[in-house]
Amino acid sequence: MSEHRSRRRKVIAGIVLALLLAIVVPPFVNANLFRARLARSVSNALGRNVAMGDVNIRLLPLPGFEIENFVVMDDPAFSAEPMLRADSVTARLRLTSLWRGRLEIARLSFTDPSLNLVRNAAGHWNIEGLLAHASQVSAAPTGKKKPEARLRFPYIEAVTGRINFKVEQNKLAHVLVDADFSLWQESENQWNMRLEARPTRTDANLGDTGTLKLEGSFQRADKIENTPIKVNFDWQKAQLGQLTALIYGRDRGWRGDVHVFGMLEGMPRQFEAKATAQINDFRRYDIASEDSVNLTAKCLADHSSVTGTDANGFRNSFQCHVPFGAGDVELRAFGEYWWHTPNYLGIRANSVPVSALAQIYRHAKRDVPHDLTGSGVLNAYFSRVNFPDAQHPRWIGQGTLANVHLSSAQLTNDFNFSSARFGFSQVEQAPEGPSSGSLSPRLKAEKSVRLPDPDQNVFTVDPFTADFGGTKVLTIGGANSPQGLQLTIKGDADAKRLSSTAQMLGLQLPASIVPSGLVNVDYQLTGHWTGFAAPAITGAARPEGHAPIATETASNQQHAKTSKPRR
């Protein structure tokens, strides 16, 4: 028993002595003597020149170094600024490496680092060099227990970091903050990474842009462009108004909860990305409704660094599909470079029910009855195309609304019309699809196309008729150009029926130009599609068989609230 107690006392004494040494010895050790050796070790691991300030030794809880003013230089071909800067870095050493007489870093931990990601004119990123170096250096996996002649790849991590983006020498306003990052070598030929960060802008105060999470891997290859990569991404808890401010620099006035998730797989020279985007409770900022609009888009993108590799002769393609009841909306884009405006953009609406459009309209336009509903079908096709003989891209395409029936409890009679046609141009035959029979990035030269001025893409609404209880049916038509929207309403109508229909659509005709009874009207509605200001209404209304009794201008802008969207 006494022998057992004596042995235990010796163990305790050894532990106490080790603790005392760990506390007392480090201040007397000049760790800066290891600075050059430590810098070389980190530089070899990262493949970049490394500079560091004061180095302090640490024995507890595990042996290592505390490094100040840690800097990783960038490739001069990308930027003269450092690629990575951190005021404080902890380099934890492997105990087994000390026994073998060499410094081997087990974990490299950065606190509040700042990372610059730079894209050059050719579309390459400075991070590619690090990945290429990691895949070419013969390092053992991070988690390998048994030491060997090769150094093991360190576990690299960063907390509460910042990631900046630059295009050549121009630093973008978009940044990732509160970034937690980790990188390690999972197996002989595979590295894994994780990132969690909050997207924001340096020129705006954004608080609800959500959290972006990335988890992925890349494998060893002879060249960086041949490196197999796989990344899963999840962007959640983003608010639509804040997201538009993140993208455009200002809040566009829309609200909703946004969630985007998906995966990217392939190689840098050729990959495929799939994503699902969801917007729940979509609405305008100043509208509250008992029901909610939920939108879901499934998207697919393909990239290739080889010119003309897809069926349409482009490097990149992008398509999204959004279901609306029994119908859907399809968007496709083709381009030479994914970071440029696409050479072709096409939008097709296939049998979209008017009931779905009415629901969206209730959440996008103020003063619309909460019970507005309808029936009918929308079909449309529009494209933005670069024509060989044009200096600017042109919008073409057309669409129809058929068998439309709108109803609400506030309507004295439902609003009906059999067909309305609209578009940018008339074509003898709808464009054929490239290979799938859907959206086309090309128009055949023999097609007869009536094109607008390239700088004046005018969207026209062909005159259509609707019965408002008059002896002559009411005709509605007009156009939208860069100067604004202009609609004309001419014909006979019952004044109360016309007024209630306008109110159902969120428009209020001033009483002074809407006499009671059966009237002949000649109204003009002007405004803009964008923004939330209500359109202005001008024109005349007179009883049938009489001279005009009222001609004036009325602005619904006085009726609508024009306060700026809350940010």
What DSSP line would sit under 32-59, residue for residue? GGGHHHHHHHHHHHHTS-EE---EEEE-
CA–CA–CA angle 353, 255, 320 (5° rounding): 50
* CA separation for the pair 268, 123 (Å, rounded): 11
Mean pLDDT (whole number) for 254-267: 96
Residue 522 covered by a domain: yes
**Token pair belonging to 440:** 């086309």
Predicted pLDDT at 149: 78
* Cα separation, 35 vs 49, whole angstroms: 14
Claim to verify: residue 403 and residue 503 sit in the same structural domain: no
What's the token pair of residue 191? 């590295």
* Displacement of CA 353 from its chain's centroid (Å): 27
Pairing relationship of beta strands 64-73 and 50-51 according to DSSP bridges: antiparallel
Task: Please check whether residues 442 and 342 belong to one and the same domain.
Answer: yes
Which residues on neighbouring strands pair with residue 177, listed in sequence order?
198
Residue pLDDT, tens place only, 342-376:
778 899 999 999 999 999 999 998 889 999 999 99
Q: Which domain holds residue 534?
A: 459-555
Write the DSSP assignment of 135-194 as a string of letters.
Answer: HHS--B-TT--S--SSPBPPEEEEEEEEEEEEETTEEEEEEEEEEEEEEEEEETTEEEEE
Residue 359 within any structural domain of the chain: yes
Same domain, 498 and 377: no
For 196-233, the three-class secondary structure string (H helix, E strand, C coil) is EEEEEECCCCCCCCCEEEEEEEEECCCCHHHCCEEEEE
Q: Are residues 355 and 477 in the same domain?
A: no
Percent of the chain with pLDDT over 90: 36
User: Which of 452, 474, 503 delimits the end of a domain?
Assistant: 452
- Whether 313 and 436 share a structural domain: yes
**Distance set, CA 477 to CA 296, 385, 402, 486, 491 (Å):** 32, 26, 15, 8, 12
pLDDT given for residue 550 in this prediction? 42
Amino acid identity of residue 176, one-letter, is L
Q: What is the mean pLDDT of residues 256-277?
A: 95
Q: Please tell me the least confidently modeled range out of 91-95, 149-153, 307-311.
A: 307-311
Domain boundary among the residues 421, 436, 452 is at 452
Residue 312 has pLDDT above 70, yes or no: no
Q: How confident is the model at residue 14 (pLDDT cuts 50, 70, 90)?
A: very low
Within-domain flag for 234: no
Q: What is the pLDDT of residue 157?
A: 94
Domain stop point among 437, 452, 467: 452
pLDDT tens-digit map of 167-187:
988 999 999 999 999 999 999
Considering the domain architecture, whether residues 324 and 434 belong to the same structural domain is answered as yes
Residue 539 covered by a domain: yes
Say if 375 falls within a structural domain: yes
Task: Check whether residue 486 and residue 378 sit in a common domain.
Answer: no
547 against 344, higher pLDDT: 344
Residue 495 and residue 388 share a domain = no
Residue 396 has pLDDT above 50, yes or no: yes
Distance CA 442, CA 387 (A): 9
- pLDDT, mean over the chain: 80
pLDDT over 80 at 475, yes or no: yes
Q: Which of 403, 408, 395, 394 lies closest to 362 in space, CA to CA?
A: 408
User: C-alpha 437: how far from its chain's center?
Assistant: 28
E strand or H helix that includes residue 272: strand 270-284
In this structure, of 103-107, 150-154, 230-234, 439-443, the range with the lowest mean pLDDT score is 439-443
Closest CA to 206 of 238, 236, 182: 238
Verify that 311 and 432 share a domain, yes or no.
yes
Q: Which residues of 268-283 are buried (b: 16+ CB within 10 A; e: fewer)?
A: beebebebebebeebb
Burial class for 17, CB neighbours closer than 10 Å (0-12, 13-18, 19+) = exposed
Q: How many domains does the chain have?
A: 2
- Do 400 and 494 belong to one domain? no
- The C-alpha atoms of residue 485 and residue 384 are separated, in whole angstroms, by 20
Percent of the chain with pLDDT over 70: 76
Q: For position 31, what pLDDT does the model report?
A: 54
**CA-to-CA dists, residue 199 to 128, 174, 204, angstroms:** 22, 7, 12
Residue 338 Ramachandran class (φ > 0 left, ψ -120 to 50 alpha, else beta): alpha
- In order of 289, 510, 531, 557, the CA distances from 487 in angstroms are 29, 17, 17, 17
Indicate if the pLDDT at residue 8 is higher than 70: no
Q: Is residue 345 domain-shared with residue 478, that is, in the same domain?
A: no
Rounded to whole angstroms, the Cα distance separating 340 from 346 reads 16
Do 387 and 438 belong together in one domain? Answer: yes
Count the neighbouring beta carbons within 10 Å of the beta carbon of residue 4: 8
Q: How far apart are CA 394 and CA 459, in angstroms?
A: 12
Cβ neighbourhood burial of 65 (10 Å; 0-12, 13-18, 19+): buried
Q: Which residue has the higher pLDDT, 310 or 270?
A: 270
